[in-house]
A and B are shown apart, each in its own frame.
Chain A
Amino acid sequence: MLVRAPMLRPELVRIADMVEPSSRVLDVGCGDGALLEHLARTKRVDARGIEISQAGVNASVAHGLSVIQGDADTDLIEYPSRAFDFVILSQTIQATRQPKVVLEQLLRIGRFVIVSFPNFGFWKVRLKLALSGRMPITGTLTHPWHETPNIHLCTIADFVALARELDARIDRALAVDESGAVRALSAPGYWDNLTAEGAIFLLSRAA
């Protein structure tokens, strides 16, 4: 039933690279299931998803994926601790009502947590805000302020601070730039926070 073309955003390819074969994976905010499908096909993972939009859920299940209609803010609490090896939150944390609670839940449910998000500290974002005095619209931040689902935008530095506050270990950090190219962030600092358009973090926490 897995019949769609293997076209995946570059960022999702990088996330998929972090996932161990044959592991148990939960993709929170899985959209139409493209990443899960890729992981099921290429890494034989036990792929599960949560998606808030009915259209996304229907598309995922119609493609043979195990996806439930649900909300990251309210439904993660239903999952047992350590139920998954990898829990993925791709381009979603900034759209949750309570990012800290969500991240806390992810660290409880998964052995590893992969989070990707747009970096509000990216120089172009800063420049647009500084020069125009208006909320920035960029390649990754595409909505005007009054229509954006991104209600809790953060910078890489903000995210690192939150991870530390939650006792999460940063196992890997990648900067994603506009072209989709990726480089490692060894110790995410001022320069990375200025030059990365987005970031992917691999986190874990002692059980």
Chain B
Amino acid sequence: MSTLFQPLSTLSGVAGDAAGEVITFGAEQPLRLDSGAEIKPLTVAWKTYGTLNAQKSNAFLLCHALTLDQYAAGTHPVTGKPGWWSSMVGPGLPIDTNRFFVICINVVGGCMGSSGPHDVDPASGKPYGLSFPVITVRDMVRAQAMLLDHLGIESLFCIAGGSMGGMQVLQWAASYPERVFSALPIATAARHSAQNIAFHEVGRQAIMADPDWQGGDYLTKGTTPRKGLAVARMAAHITYLSEAALHRKFGRTLQDREALSYRFDADFQVESYLRHQGAMFVERFDANAYLYITRAMDYFDLAADYGGSLAQAFRGCRTRFCVVSFTSDWLFPTAESKKIVHALNAGGANVSFVEFDTDKGHDAFLLEVPEMFATLRGFIGAAAEARGLNAKAGA
């Protein structure tokens, strides 16, 4: 176990193609942020699967959620585990890499290769820490658009993502409607709710209360706020599940013991599970990146950018939408998806809306929900037909 969180050095140990690609834009191409600040030089890391066709019409952008990264399919080169959507993305899967050129980009502010607070600030020669500018979901999308411009990809056949990834999908459709042929916002919302901001604040306060956080300068000081980040993850992880899923998985089952200890050990399996989740998380995620990305989600309010009218954000949008929610998701409940659907309808957009019955909670979008696979396959297939992409590989 490393003491310091050093994602770039971790990645540089990964051989060749598996790591994906990284570009650093010159200082003459800064990323201009909503806050008014700039990131320069801007570094963007991404991973692709499949082949771009000659017409460049089969590009499929995946937007990752808060703590995920660009390794959506196959095996994650750092953790060695399956990519976050490896059940959905691959040859013959609903997001078929034989047909589509799948691109997944690490968000700005993240910690898997794109510019983030762990980077060295060229001005000071030290890691940015809290001097890294606050970013927004729109900033993340701007950086993605810069990369696609660089790759010569004018329009996307489809853009999909869950949770914060879904926020990026909505932002893409609002900011660049002419570049998005179809869109799959999953388990998401057009604005972060007060309850969700509150949960994020708990996580951030846990990180900042850890003495090893060092006012954000832990990289310089040679510490890692493990406990704070682990607690943040534990609290957040509960919100990704449902009461029913927790009960089904753990109930009140005791962990490695026959009776209550009458101490504060992890008596219950659910405690042990959460501790494990927290401990795993600090090995792969940067505490400051967690602060910045949760802040970006908190700031997300798409309607606010359009005079308070979400319908206005999508007016005249020709994109085909399929909005997806899950019955047991209380973090991004169906009511939030319905607001998106109503706004799209009011704007006259082409929209489908499906709610799946599952007890898996918010995390359902990452899990095997066979009915979801069938439905997404139908939506993507019909969109491909409308786009003139035939079913042959790379066609």
Task: Check A78 for interface membership: any CB of B closer than 8 A.
Answer: yes
B187 to chain A, nearest CB (A): 15
Q: Is the CB of A1 within 8 A of B385?
A: yes
B369 to chain A, nearest CB (A): 11
Q: Which of B14-22, B62-70, B108-116, B341-349 contacts A (4 or more CB under 8 A)?
A: B341-349
Of B348, B351, B354, which contacts A58 at CB under 8 A?
B354
Q: Which of A61-69, A95-103, A114-122 contacts B (4 or more CB under 8 A)?
A: A61-69
Chain B hits for A58, CB < 8 A: 354, 356, 371, 374-375
Task: Check A83 for interface membership: any CB of B closer than 8 A.
Answer: yes
Task: Check A48 for interface membership: any CB of B closer than 8 A.
Answer: yes
**Overall SS of chain A's interface:** mixed
Q: Is the CB of A70 within 8 A of B378?
A: no
Q: Is the CB of B341 within 8 A of A64?
A: no
Q: Known contacts A78-B342, A80-B348: does B354 contact A64 (CB below 8 Å)?
A: no
- Which parts of B265-313 form the interface with A (CB within 8 Å)? none
Task: Check A79 for interface membership: any CB of B closer than 8 A.
Answer: yes
Of A62, A63, A66, A80, which contacts B350 at CB under 8 A?
A66
B90 to chain A, nearest CB (A): 20
Task: Report the count of interface residues on A (CB-CB < 8 A).
Answer: 22
Q: Is the CB of A61 within 8 A of B354?
A: yes
Tell me the bound Cα distance from A54 to B355 in angstroms.
Answer: 7
Task: Check B357 for interface membership: any CB of A closer than 8 A.
Answer: yes
Task: Check A87 for interface membership: any CB of B closer than 8 A.
Answer: no
Q: Is the CB of A61 within 8 A of B348?
A: no
Task: Check B352 for interface membership: any CB of A closer than 8 A.
Answer: yes
Given contacts A58-B354, A64-B381, A68-B323, list 8 more A-B pairs with CB under 8 A.
A1-B381, A48-B350, A58-B375, A61-B375, A62-B375, A63-B378, A79-B345, A80-B345
27 contacts across the A-B interface (CB closer than 8 A): A1-B385, A46-B350, A48-B350, A54-B354, A57-B352, A57-B353, A58-B371, A60-B352, A61-B322, A61-B378, A62-B374, A62-B379, A63-B378, A63-B382, A64-B385, A65-B352, A66-B350, A66-B351, A66-B352, A68-B345, A68-B353, A69-B354, A75-B342, A78-B342, A78-B345, A79-B345, A80-B346
Enumerate chain A interface residues (CB-CB to B < 8 A). 1, 46, 48, 54, 57-58, 60-70, 75, 78-80, 83
